[in-house]
C-alpha cells in the first residue's frame, strides 16, 4: 500500500510543479507580446537619431571635435536578471570573452559593464576591470529613463578617458524561436552615410547659433543615439529572454504531463495488482473455510 501512496504523492507533487510552469509560461508570453510592441517604436526612434547624427556630421565635418586617440574600449553586456533561460547567458558570455581576447591581442585594453545579475555570475572570475554592474527588472520591459540613468554613468567613464570605444553585446531577437548573440559598436557612431541633394541639404541645415555650439550639439545627439541603441538592445534581450523562458516552461509542462501519465499508469497497475492480491486472499480464505 505504501508503494501506491508514494506514486500518488509523486503525481500530486508534479501537478503542483505543473501549475508553476504553466503560470511562468503565461507570464512570459504576456511580457513577450508587450515588449514586441515597444521594439518597433524604439527602432524607429533610434534610426531617426542616427540620421540626425549623420546630417550634423555631413554639414559640420570641419567644426567637429577631433576624436581622442584610441584608449581601449568598454563592452556592455546585457544579461538576464533571473535564471531558467537555458544557455541564454552562457552563450553571450562566451562571445564576449572571445571578443575581448581578440581585442587584447591587438593591444586594446578591455573594460566591462555588466547589466543583469546573471552576467555578474558569468564574469565573477574574469581578469578584466568591471566599471559598472546593474540589475535589470525582469517584470517589465526597460524604461527609457532608466537607460539614460545608466548611460550617464557610462558617459562619465568616457569623459575620464577610461575608454574611447564603446560596444554593446546582447542576444538579438530574431523570432520567438530564435535569437543570436551579437556585439555592436556604438561609440564612435558607425555612420552609414547619406547622399542628399543640395537643396535638401540646405533645408536640413541646423542653426547651431540657436540650438548650441556645434560640439555641444554633437555631444547631445551622440548621447541620445547611444541611449536609444542601448534601449533597443535591452528590449531585444528582454524579448529573447522571455521567448526562451516561454519555450522552456512549455517543454517542462509537456514533460510533466508525460510524467503524470506514466505515473498514473503505474498507479493503476499497482492498484489493480493490490486488488487482485486481496481477491486472491479472500478466495483462498473462503476455500480454507469451506473445507473445515
pLDDT per residue as tens digits for the range 190-204: 877 666 566 655 555
- DSSP codes of every residue in 118-156: HHHHHTTT-SSEEEEEE---SSSPPPHHHHHHHHHHHHH
pLDDT in tens, 243-263: 888 888 877 888 888 888 888
In this prediction, residue 141 carries a pLDDT of: 73
In this prediction, residue 208 carries a pLDDT of: 47
DSSP single-letter state for residue 213 = -
Instruction: Tell which CATH classification among 3.20.20.20, 3.90.1150.10, 3.40.50.720, 3.40.1380.10 matches the domain 24-247.
Output: 3.40.1380.10
Look up the pTM and report it: 0.76
Average pLDDT, the chain: 81
Q: What percent of the chain shows pLDDT beyond 70?
A: 83
List the chain domain ranges: 24-247
Q: Which residues contact 235 (CB under 8 A, 6 or more apart)?
A: 35, 38, 39, 42, 141, 142, 173
Amino acid at each position: 500500500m505504501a508503494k501506491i501512496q508514494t506514486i500518488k504523492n509523486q503525481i500530486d507533487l508534479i501537478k503542483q510543479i505543473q501549475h508553476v510552469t504553466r503560470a511562468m509560461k503565461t507570464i512570459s508570453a504576456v511580457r513577450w507580446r508587450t515588449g514586441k510592441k515597444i521594439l518597433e517604436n524604439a527602432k524607429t526612434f533610434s534610426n531617426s537619431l542616427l540620421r540626425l547624427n549623420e546630417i550634423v556630421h555631413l554639414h559640420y565635418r570641419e567644426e567637429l571635435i577631433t576624436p581622442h586617440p584610441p584608449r581601449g574600449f568598454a563592452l556592455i553586456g546585457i544579461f538576464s536578471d533571473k535564471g531558467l533561460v537555458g544557455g541564454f547567458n552562457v552563450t553571450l558570455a562566451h562571445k564576449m570573452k572571445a571578443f575581448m581576447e581578440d581585442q587584447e591581442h591587438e593591444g586594446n585594453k578591455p573594460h566591462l559593464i555588466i547589466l543583469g545579475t546573471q552576467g555578474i555570475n558569468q564574469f565573477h572570475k574574469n581578469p578584466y576591470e568591471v566599471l559598472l554592474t546593474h540589475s535589470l527588472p525582469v517584470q517589465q520591459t526597460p524604461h527609457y529613463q532608466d537607460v539614460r540613468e545608466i548611460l550617464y554613468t557610462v558617459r562619465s567613464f568616457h569623459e575620464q578617458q577610461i575608454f574611447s570605444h564603446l560596444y554593446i553585446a546582447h542576444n538579438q531577437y530574431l523570432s520567438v524561436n530564435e535569437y543570436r548573440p551579437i556585439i555592436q559598436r556604438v561609440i564612435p557612431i558607425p555612420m552609414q552615410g547619406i547622399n542628399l541633394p543640395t537643396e535638401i541639404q540646405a533645408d536640413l541645415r541646423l542653426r547651431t547659433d540657436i540650438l548650441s555650439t556645434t560640439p555641444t550639439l554633437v555631444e547631445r545627439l551622440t548621447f541620445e543615439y547611444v541611449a536609444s541603441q542601448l534601449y533597443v538592445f535591452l528590449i531585444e534581450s528582454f524579448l529573447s529572454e522571455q521567448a526562451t523562458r516561454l519555450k522552456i516552461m512549455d517543454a517542462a509542462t509537456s514533460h510533466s504531463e508525460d510524467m503524470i501519465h506514466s505515473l498514473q499508469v503505474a498507479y493503476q497497475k499497482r492498484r489493480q495488482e493490490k486488488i487482485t492480491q486481496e481477491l486472491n486472499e479472500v478466495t483462498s480464505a473462503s476455500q480454507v473455510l469451506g473445507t473445515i
